[in-house]
Amino acid sequence: MTQASAEATSAISTARDQAVQSIERAAADAGAVATAKIDAANERAEKIIVTTAKLEARQLWLVAASMCLALLPVAVIVAGVWMAVAGLITGAQWALDVDGSVWLGIGRWLVVSMGLAGAGYGLFASVRWVAGLVETWKGRGMPRWPRWR
């Protein structure tokens, strides 16, 4: 009986050792598979991050270009108003500096009025251009205003 008991204990011990080894191998294999899957997921995530960064850079340039295109007409109008006011002030000072000569004063005021008319037309054309751009940007196609064109 002792011999049977010893054989049973030995068999149980061997079975236990084999079970432990099998469990350790299964855990190592599962760990290797999990690590491989995590590495693959990390590689995919890095590719996605790189692609997203490229798209963000493109979007940044598109937004910057859109902002420049939106601000260009405003800058043209502001510059036109600024030049018209500066021309009026400078022209009036120049036209008033005639030292009592009536004909020189009349001639200078004619020149100043022609310059102001030109600046006014330039401002009008700029406003018309901006209105055409806004109409185009609204998605209506080519501008139809002004009708006399």
The whole-angstrom separation of Cα 113 and Cα 131 is 27
Band (110; pLDDT cuts 50, 70, 90): very high
pTM of the model as a whole = 0.43
Per-residue pLDDT, 141: 55
Whether 146 maps to a domain, the answer reads no
Nearest to 27 by CA among 35, 16, 17, 39: 35
Whether 147 maps to a domain, the answer reads no
Number of domains in the chain: 1
Percent of the chain with pLDDT over 90: 1
Whether 53 maps to a domain, the answer reads yes
Encoded tokens for 111: 């020149």
Q: What is the mean pLDDT of the chain?
A: 82
Encoded tokens for 4: 């049977």
Q: What is the pLDDT of residues 42-92, one digit of tens each?
A: 899 899 988 888 888 778 777 788 788 778 878 888 887 888 888 888 888
Full residue range of the structural domain in which residue 92 is found: 2-140
The dihedral of CA 63, 68, 70, 71: what is its sign?
Answer: positive
